[in-house]
Amino acid sequence: MRRSWLLSIVCSAVCCLLLDPATAQESAHPVPKAGEFPPPNTGTYLAGELVIIDPVNRRGGLRLDGNEPHDRYHSGPLHYFAMLPYGMLSFNGAPAELRDIPLGTHVHGYFYLPPVGEEATIPPLPKDMERYEIKQNHAVSLEDDFSFYQRRGQSWKVVSIDSKKGKIHVAPAGQMAQDGINTPSTFDIDDLTKVWKGHTLVELTDIAPDQIVQFNLGWSPGWRDREFTVSELWLDDESRKFATDLQRRRHVKYQKQRWLPGWIDSVEDNDYGGGIITLTLFGGMDPSLYAELKATQDKGFGVAVAEKSLRTWFHRSDKKIGQVIEWKESENPPSGSSGIQVRMKFTELLDGYRPGRVVRVKCHDWLFVTMPSEERVKTMEEQQRSTLFRLP
């Protein structure tokens, strides 16, 4: 891991020497643009423990793995981040919200430089901390270990477990993940580790060599040396499916109440009211949600204006309902996109329906719910305040 970190920094430096400064910045570290999803595989990989979160605005801070650079573990700050509007989160193998991921969970993310105009969202570090700053602070994805490795086809084979020493030895199995840990490793384990078999919590003694497992990691006293503790472990497929299904249900309920996010691609105004908008739904949602939307498209969708944090104002009122005139799906959409583009006709349009702006889309059959006050944006002043992450 230490070698890969150094390698990425060296590669970045070499690229910068070969290209003119602006192009180098653009190609090596693309800046996300409104209305465009970033090119594939261009995000910067970072991993760490989720230490603080602002779940309402989808922001947080990670204690990055290891101690580089400059004795960061002991002296450096957290890596503060904001989720891009199309940034996807996963937990236990299912789509999630930041609030679903327990603090202390080790997560993997891909990060970009802040979009133009949003440089101040994550405030700059104090002068004495500037050397720790990693400018890629807008995440396109964030996943726990379970989701991260499972999605890449990598699982873990138990080599041995030593309960007395509190160590478990594992080796990667299946398809190797390019990022993350992909070599035989040893992790801490103790009686606080939740071990799942089927729908039941079992004991450490149920862990046996050759079992294929998934787990989530957490802090360990040897963090600076990239040591981790297994916080939760799933022994079999049934237990993993159960965990995934629980999270999936939670996610589906959450989205039905807050509606599916997307952004406006284009607006065609009428001068007598209304017009046509084209929008793209963000990716990372449970497929059943897209399917339900598609199946009920004849009934029209509600579209509420949202902020980049995906917060809405008073979405049950501040929405307009439009008729779907075209539903298009593309294959292999870029990361962040669902590949679903919808063209809708409205008799009224809202000011927030503008290219690149975020909206949330309601299926006709979902019940209207009033969000609690702290989730809603209520004034323009509050909207302004919400664009900045208040560091602890």
Rule CB under 8 A: is residue 269 a binding residue for other proteins? Answer: yes
Q: Which of 107, 293, 305, 363 binds other proteins (CB under 8 A)?
A: 305
Rule CB under 8 A: is residue 272 a binding residue for other proteins? Answer: yes
Q: How far is the CB of 256 from other proteins (least distance, A)?
A: 21
Q: Which of 1, 129, 352, 388 binds other proteins (CB under 8 A)?
A: 352
Rule CB under 8 A: is residue 276 a binding residue for other proteins? Answer: no
Count of residues in contact with other proteins, rule CB under 8 A: 25
Joined together, the tokens standing for residue 126 give 């104090």
Rule CB under 8 A: is residue 344 a binding residue for other proteins? Answer: no
The SS3 call for residue 54 is strand
Rule CB under 8 A: is residue 22 a binding residue for other proteins? Answer: no
Among 45, 133, 41, 38, CA closest to 84: 38
CB atoms within 10 A of CB 3: 7
Q: Are 140 and 84 in contact (CB under 8 A)?
A: yes
Q: Which residues touch 187 (CB under 8 Å, ≥6 apart)? A: 167, 168, 170, 215, 217, 220, 227, 228, 229, 230
CA dist 284 → 69, 88, 195, 288, 317 (Å): 33, 5, 27, 11, 26
d(CA 181, CA 158): 15
Stretch in the footprint of other proteins (CB under 8 A) among 162-170, 196-204, 241-249, 351-359: 351-359
Rule CB under 8 A: is residue 331 a binding residue for other proteins? Answer: no
Stretch in the footprint of other proteins (CB under 8 A) among 73-81, 131-139, 314-322, 336-344: 314-322
Task: Pick out residues in 354-383 that bind other proteins (CB under 8 A).
Answer: 354-355, 357, 380, 383
Joined together, the tokens standing for residue 229 give 């503790």
Identify which of residues 107 and 305 has a Cβ nearer to other proteins in the complex. 305
Q: Which of 75, 200, 347, 370 binds other proteins (CB under 8 A)?
A: 347
Give the binding site for other proteins (CB under 8 A). Answer: 267, 269-274, 304-305, 313-314, 317-318, 347-355, 357, 380, 383
